[in-house]
Amino acid sequence: MMSQQKHIHILGICGTFMGGIAAIAKQAGYRVTGCDANVYPPMSTQLEAQGIELIEGFGTEQLGLKPDTFVIGNVVSRGNPLMEEILNRNLPYVSGPQWLADTLLRNKWVLAVAGTHGKTTTTSMLAWILEYAGLNPGFLIGGVPQNFGVSARLTDSPFFVIEADEYDTAFFDKRSKFVHYRPRTAILNNLEFDHADIFADLAAIETQFHHLLRTVPGNGLVVSNGREESLTRVIKRGCWTPVEKFGSNDGWNIDADNRVTLNGVAQGMLQWELMGEHNRMNALAALAAARHAGVPIAQGLAALAEFKNVKRRMEVRGVVNGITVYDDFAHHPTAIDTTVAGLRHKVGNARILAVLEPRSNTMKLGVMKNALPGSLKDADEVFCYGANLGWDASEALAPLGNKALVKNNLDELVAAIAACARPGDHVLVMSNGGFGGIHEKLLKRLAG
């Protein structure tokens, strides 16, 4: 029987998304191998633990593996030596989202979570509510939800929860990833301008979100943020599916005391540890989507009381001499704003030292730089790593006056933060990358 086992070879396997696909393909009985430019932990160890063979680099000798299909991640572009040879020899290849949709999602009730912000957290909440309700969902999430400890799994349940990204699919398929998933339940969490490297403006992203709506069946459900004009425009362009709004009184809402209402009728209390208005909105979206899959609201609220956040969402990395160091994934000005505001709400008048690495493609291009000072207004001191940017961070943060400091050298940045920090301070490190291991360096420095 094993001789019949299908084999896929994944190019760009170490990203969270492609690594997740690798894990669930393996669970589905495929032989899975893969390669990437940088094969390193934690993704490499996670994959190797699952018996997935990894190869460093994109050498053409990998053609010798003779897989049934090459699955191509969106880090791969023309000029990649292995990809060029796949094209030259006319070998079968497919994008990750399309392979997933065609092979593993075909007979599933897909619940997709789209939006500029909060996708990972909301997807994790939704998967956890279904799990708590005994529905045993499969999922693919762009982060590690702490209730599960893995970013992806395949189950025999009809339900599959997926983080639905608007970023493009592959070098040969410029549609957003999410048009492949054919969700029955679609969350439109929010919609702002992002991904300036591939989208010209907000209207271009709205078009992609409308393409997603075109794929949702009439007997499905669209759960949409009622506070976003952009999403109102998207739905006006055509929607063939019932819509439930959240964040407004003609749908799901939540007050300052965490009392949840649906069409003005009280549904219960949200009792949990998470901070911030954005997370309360995420919770409403997850409750609405879970209810569509058959989970009563009271059970959804009980599940959220036991929800643990995703790694790198306001995660405490250590406390030294009364100084708390947090790690957070925030990298878009809106996310930075809500993250800092959430911490401010929690710590009251204590000092917040915000530490920022602008490293997403959008941030590197400087498209959002003018929004940065405003997003950091709730911080007492601001430290920014200015290396490798196409713009001047000192100039962009000038409106903050002497409370902002920019350094192009990581060790100098760490030294400056350590010199400023005093007992009772909260150091909030924000980046969508590893930030050169700044958390450990800082904790070590503070302890020393």
Q: Give the up-direction half-sphere exposure of residue 321: CA atoms within 13 A in the CB hemisphere.
A: 12
Query: 3: exposed, middle or buried (C-beta count within 10 Å: 0-12, 13-18, 19+)?
Result: exposed
From residue 97, give the alpha-carbon distance in Å to each of 22, 166, 167, 181, 447: 12, 12, 11, 7, 45
Global pTM reads 0.77
Please give the Cα distance from 257 to 401 (Å, whole number). Answer: 36
The token pair at 25 is 């393909």
Q: Which two tokens stand for residue 392?
A: 């001047």
Q: Digits of tens for pLDDT over the chain (448 positions)?
A: 344 789 999 999 988 899 999 999 999 999 999 999 988 776 778 788 889 999 999 999 999 999 999 999 999 999 999 999 999 999 999 999 999 999 999 999 999 999 988 889 999 999 999 999 999 999 999 888 888 888 899 999 999 999 998 889 999 999 999 999 999 999 999 787 666 666 667 888 899 999 999 999 999 999 999 999 999 999 999 999 999 999 998 999 999 899 999 999 999 999 987 878 889 999 999 999 999 999 999 999 999 999 987 767 778 899 999 999 999 888 788 789 888 988 998 899 999 999 999 887 777 778 788 889 999 999 999 999 999 888 899 999 999 999 999 999 999 999 999 999 999 999 999 998 888 899 999 999 999 8
Instruction: Decide if 253 contacts 287 (C-beta within 8 A).
Output: no
Beta strands in 24-127 (DSSP E): 31-36, 53-56, 69-72, 93-95, 109-114
The pLDDT value recorded for residue 2 is 44
Residues 6 or more apart whose CB falls under 8 angstroms from that of 204 comprise none
The alpha-helical segments, DSSP class H, found in 104-239 are: 119-132, 202-213, 229-236
Residue from 125, 146, 152, 126 nearest 18 by CA: 152
Indicate the helix (H) or strand (E) that contains 253.
strand 252-254
- In order of their start, the domains of the chain are 2-97 (3.40.50.720), 105-304 (3.40.1190.10), 315-447 (3.90.190.20)
Three-class secondary structure of residue 202 per DSSP = helix
> For position 271, what pLDDT does the model report?
93
Q: Round to whole Å and give the CA distance between 27 and 384.
A: 42
Tell me what pLDDT residue 142 has. 85
E-assigned strands of 270-393? Answer: 315-320, 323-328, 352-356, 381-385
Beta bridge partners of 346: none
* One-letter identity of residue 316: V
Q: Which of 139, 224, 145 is nearest to 181 (CA)?
A: 139
Helix (H) or strand (E) holding 361: helix 361-365
Residue 243 host element (H or E): strand 243-246
Are the beta carbons of 82 and 62 closer than 8 angstroms? yes
Helix (H) or strand (E) holding 187: strand 185-188
